[in-house]
Amino acid sequence: MHSFQPLSEHDPFACSAHDHRRCQHDALAAAEDACRREGVRLTPIRKRVLELVWASHQPVGAYALLEQLAVDGHRPAPPTVYRALEFLLEQGLVHRIDSLNAFVGCTHPGERHRSLFLICRACGRAQELAAAPIEQVITTEAQRHGFALEKLTLEAVGLCHSCSGS
């Protein structure tokens, strides 16, 4: 078993310039570790859903996942995949992109963090960035209004460096 490479500095927009099987493999290995540490079960379905989410860096919808699962021969109903996604969300293994109704693998599982997503409207890929500095500004601003912040949705849509032609 090779040492797990934290996915932090990965650029999903560097299209063909990266070995994506490595991303997927590392993410699954990290998930196994995380679930073992937490004492929760990464069942075959949950693992398969996570694997499918990590099939690309493009956020993927629940029904697209269902179609992929159908290819395996399973043909589960919607609740099955939603339950798997709920589990993965709770364990911090995937994120939900509200503006797309879609899900994407978390690049920092295990670390407590908030994220900012850069979503390319051309290639559909999303990059997760640590939102710590922004979080600080927003928390302060919220407090100024007596607001106790719990959840944060930070999503930017635009063009990535590959798609803007530069």
Partner DNA sequence: TTTGCGACGTTACACTATAACATCGCTTCC
Partner DNA sequence: GGAAGCGATGTTATAGTGTAACGTCGCAAA
Residue (80 or 139) nearer to DNA, CB: 80
Query: Any idea what DSSP says for residue 60?
Result: B
Give the one residue of 48, 94, 127, 128 binding its own copies; rule: CB under 8 A. Answer: 127
* Under rule CB under 7 A, residue 113 binds DNA: no
Q: E strands of 18-76, at which residues? A: none
Least gap, CB of 28 to its own copies (angstroms): 26
Q: Which does 62 bind (CB under 5 to 8 A by kind): its own copies, DNA, none?
A: DNA
Q: What is the dihedral sign for C-alpha 116, 92, 80, 152?
A: negative
3-state secondary structure of 107: coil
Interface residue with DNA among 44, 73, 146, 165 (CB under 7 A) is 44
Long-range contacts, 29-36 (Cβ 8 Å, 24+): 29/1, 29/4, 30/4, 30/109, 30/110, 31/91, 31/93, 31/109, 33/4, 33/110, 34/91, 34/92, 34/93, 34/109, 34/110, 35/91
Q: How far is the CB of 86 from its own copies (least distance, A)?
A: 16
Which residues would be at the binding site for its own copies (CB under 8 A)? 11, 13, 98-99, 116, 118, 120-121, 127, 129, 133-134, 137-138, 141-142, 145-161, 164, 166
Residues that bind DNA (CB under 7 A): 40-41, 43-46, 61-64, 74, 76-80, 82-84, 87, 101-102
